Amino acid sequence: MIWLVLGAMASITVLLFLSGLYRTGEVLNRKDGALVILKDQLSEIDTDQERNLISVTEADAARVEIKRRILAAGRLATRESSRASGRSTIFASAIATPLVAFALYSQIGSPQIESQPLASRASETQEAANLSELTQRLKTRLEADESGGPSDGWVLLGQTYMRMARYDDAADAFERVTVRDNADISTLLLYAEALIAAENGIVTPQAESVIERASEMDPDDPGPIFYRARILEQDGVPDEARTLLIERLKRADRAYPWMELFLSVANRLGEQVGESPVTLADFFPDSRDARSPGAADIEAAQDMSVEERSAFVRSMVDRLAARLLDDQDNLEGWLRLAEAYSVLGDFDAAQNAADNARTLAESLPETDPMRAAATARLDRINK
Residue among 42, 49, 105, 336 that touches another protein (CB under 8 A): 105
As measured in angstroms, the least distance from the Cβ of 66 to another protein is 8
Whole-Å CA distances, 278 to 183, 291, 297, 353: 35, 15, 14, 36
Residue among 59, 101, 278, 324 that touches another protein (CB under 8 A): 101
As measured in angstroms, the least distance from the Cβ of 253 to another protein is 37
Residue among 16, 217, 311, 343 that touches another protein (CB under 8 A): 16
Q: What is the full DSSP assignment across 237-249?
A: -HHHHHHHHHHHH
Q: Which is nearer to another protein, 34 or 349 (CB)?
A: 34
**Number of residues in contact with another protein under rule CB under 8 A:** 73
As measured in angstroms, the least distance from the Cβ of 42 to another protein is 11
Q: Which is nearer to another protein, 93 or 367 (CB)?
A: 93
The b-or-e profile of 265-286 (16+ CB within 10 A means b, else e) is bbbebbeeeebeebebeebbee
Question: Taking Cα atoms as reference points, which of 26, 32, 58, 29 lies closest to residue 45?
Answer: 58
Q: According to the binding rule CB under 8 A, does residue 128 interact with another protein?
A: yes
As measured in angstroms, the least distance from the Cβ of 199 to another protein is 14
Q: Residue 176 in contact with residue 187, Cβ under 8 Å?
A: no
> What DSSP state is assigned to residue 70?
H
Q: Residue 6 in contact with residue 109, Cβ under 8 Å?
A: no
Instruction: Map the footprint of another protein across residues 21-60, applying CB under 8 A.
Output: 21, 23-30, 32-38, 40-41, 44, 51-53, 58
Residue among 56, 64, 71, 85 that touches another protein (CB under 8 A): 85
Residue among 67, 71, 74, 100 that touches another protein (CB under 8 A): 100
Q: According to the binding rule CB under 8 A, does residue 117 interact with another protein?
A: yes
Question: Taking Cα atoms as reference points, which of 280, 285, 253, 252 lies closest to residue 266?
Answer: 280
Instruction: Map the footprint of another protein across residues 206-265, applying CB under 8 A.
Output: none
How much is the CA Rg of the chain, to the nearest whole Å? 36
Q: Residue 230 in contact with residue 207, Cβ under 8 Å?
A: no
Residue among 74, 109, 150, 277 that touches another protein (CB under 8 A): 109
Q: Which is nearer to another protein, 109 or 257 (CB)?
A: 109
Q: According to the binding rule CB under 8 A, does residue 327 interact with another protein?
A: no
CA 320, CA 335: separation in Å to the nearest integer? Answer: 11
Q: According to the binding rule CB under 8 A, does residue 89 interact with another protein?
A: yes
H runs (alpha helix) in 145-287: 151-163, 167-178, 185-198, 205-217, 222-234, 238-251, 258-273, 280-283
CA 224, CA 143: separation in Å to the nearest integer? Answer: 29
Q: According to the binding rule CB under 8 A, does residue 115 interact with another protein?
A: yes
Stretch that binds another protein, among 69-77, 274-282, 361-369, 370-378 (CB under 8 A): 69-77
Element (H, E) at 108: helix 87-108
Stretch that binds another protein, among 14-22, 187-195, 243-251, 255-263 (CB under 8 A): 14-22
Q: According to the binding rule CB under 8 A, does residue 116 interact with another protein?
A: yes
Residue among 45, 98, 194, 196 that touches another protein (CB under 8 A): 98
Instruction: Map the footprint of another protein across residues 168-187, applying CB under 8 A.
Output: none
Q: According to the binding rule CB under 8 A, does residue 326 interact with another protein?
A: no
Q: Which is nearer to another protein, 69 or 213 (CB)?
A: 69
CA 258, CA 221: separation in Å to the nearest integer? Answer: 11
Residue among 42, 59, 63, 73 that touches another protein (CB under 8 A): 73
As measured in angstroms, the least distance from the Cβ of 4 to another protein is 10
Q: Which is nearer to another protein, 168 or 355 (CB)?
A: 168
CA 78, CA 219: separation in Å to the nearest integer? Answer: 87
CA 222, CA 215: separation in Å to the nearest integer? Answer: 9
